């Protein structure tokens, strides 16, 4: 089920050495103390890092590259949200006023696998989120000489700016429109955050991949799974916390690739496929898809079908790029007694059902 569009000519994935990141939490030596093999130990290591102020920064060894590295980060992201941190004292979910999406936007989501929402949250919220993330990294926007790594990853954040950004009336309306009212869990924050810095080096995590959604009890993230019902994940979301231009390491999205992945998963029923199985051919069925760059102003959000094939890339710009890439979690499995959501419609259309 190939995408009938122009092919992507992205450069091949290269490896890059990750030296230790200063603060917070885990050095390269500590990582190897927990795991001899990086990819089989990444989940174990993430669990042992410990959580301080609802944030962690983790480092993966350089021998974990391409889709394996990208998959590790995606897996840890889902694991973080599954832990379901409670809200802190005094924190409340924003009001539930809904504004929804237009019919044209919903049709675009079904056909392409994503929809771009500009001004989904305010520039002020984006600034407050960036300020906290700078503090978490122990870095400053005024000291560029300290930006030594191509990418630093910060974990799940549950302070007020992140809860507010994830639950604006416009976004809650969009969740209702794409997933169905009452069928999604209100986000309790945002994360993880792959913060990319201008660098001549490849980040080493720029392989094409699909985020997995269940089977996360397995210690090897390559055994995490996805199925045609998208059990455990309603949406992939990209929150732009800074302005992202074409040179600022925008996420690459293979337009319409969700259809090919749905067709690939269909024969495998509820069990689905592991990341190892799904990525065995390098996602060859989506190589003909047009590549769209997730660019936009701070406050833009891309709501993506859970089967969309996407990838990071090198930062060739001048200012650090801040995004969050959380899933939206469902309240349960698809309910056949309810009208199908646009997520389901896209899957059925792709599978000829």
Tokens of 68: 């394996």
Q: Dihedral sign, CA of 172, 174, 175, 180?
A: positive
Tokens of 212: 């997995």
pLDDT in tens, 195-239: 999 999 999 999 999 999 999 889 998 899 999 999 999 999 999
The pLDDT value given to residue 216: 85
Tokens of 323: 């995004």
pLDDT in tens, 138-185: 999 999 999 999 999 999 999 999 999 999 999 999 999 999 999 999
Tell me which residue of 293, 292, 302 sits closest to 325, measured CA to CA: 302
Q: Is the pTM of this model over 0.85?
A: no
Tell me which residue of 78, 331, 348 sits closest to 180, measured CA to CA: 331
State the total domains in the chain. Answer: 1
CB 85 within 8 A of CB 54: yes
* Measured distance CA(89)–CA(96) in Å, rounded: 20
What is the pLDDT confidence band of residue 324, given thresholds at 50, 70 and 90? very high
Q: Is the pLDDT of residue 25 over 50?
A: no
Inside any domain, residue 34: yes
* Residue partners of 341: CB distance under 8 A and separation at least 6: 178, 179, 180, 183, 334
Among 16-30, 129-143, 175-189, whose mean pLDDT is lowest? 16-30
Inside any domain, residue 8: no
What is the pLDDT confidence band of residue 72, given thresholds at 50, 70 and 90? low
Q: Is the pLDDT of residue 279 over 60?
A: yes
Inside any domain, residue 62: yes
Inside any domain, residue 194: yes
Inside any domain, residue 6: no
Q: What range defines the domain where residue 54 resides?
A: 28-351
Q: What percent of the chain has pLDDT over 90?
A: 69
The pLDDT value given to residue 353: 87
């Amino acid at each position: 089920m190939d995408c009938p569009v122009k092919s992507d000519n992205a450069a091949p994935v290269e490896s890059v050495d990750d030296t230790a990141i200063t603060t917070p939490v885990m050095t390269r030596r500590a990582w190897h103390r927990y795991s001899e093999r990086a990819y089989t130990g990444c989940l174990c290591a993430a669990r042992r890092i410990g959580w301080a102020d609802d944030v962690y920064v983790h480092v993966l060894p350089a021998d974990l590259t391409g889709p394996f590295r990208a998959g590790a980060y995606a897996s840890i992201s889902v694991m973080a949200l599954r832990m379901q941190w409670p809200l802190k004292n005094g924190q409340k979910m924003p009001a539930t006023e809904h504004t929804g999406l237009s019919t044209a936007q919903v049709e675009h989501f079904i056909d392409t696998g994503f929809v771009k929402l500009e001004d989904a949250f305010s520039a002020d919220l984006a600034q407050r989120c960036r300020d906290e993330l700078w503090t978490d990294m122990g870095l400053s926007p005024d000291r560029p000489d300290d930006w030594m790594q191509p990418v630093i990853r910060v974990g799940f954040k549950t302070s007020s700016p992140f809860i507010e950004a994830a639950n604006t009336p416009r976004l809650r309306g969009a969740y209702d429109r794409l997933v169905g009212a009452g069928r999604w869990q209100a986000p309790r924050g945002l994360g993880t955050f792959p913060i990319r810095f201008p660098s001549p080096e490849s980040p080493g995590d720029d392989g094409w991949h699909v985020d997995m959604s269940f089977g996360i009890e397995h210690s090897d993230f390559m055994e995490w799974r996805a199925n045609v019902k998208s059990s455990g994940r309603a949406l992939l979301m990209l929150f732009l916390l800074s302005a992202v231009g074409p040179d600022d390491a925008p996420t690459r999205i293979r337009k319409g690739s969700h259809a090919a992945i749905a067709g690939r998963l269909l024969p495998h029923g509820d069990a689905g496929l592991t990341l190892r199985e799904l990525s065995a051919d390098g996602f060859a069925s989506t190589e003909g898809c047009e590549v769209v760059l997730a660019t936009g102003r701070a406050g833009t959000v891309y709501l993506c079908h859970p089967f969309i094939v996407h990838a990071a890339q090198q930062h060739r710009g001048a200012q650090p790029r801040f995004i969050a890439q959380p899933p939206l979690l469902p309240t349960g499995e698809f309910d056949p007694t309810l009208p199908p959501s646009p997520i389901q419609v896209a899957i059925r259309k792709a599978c000829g059902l």
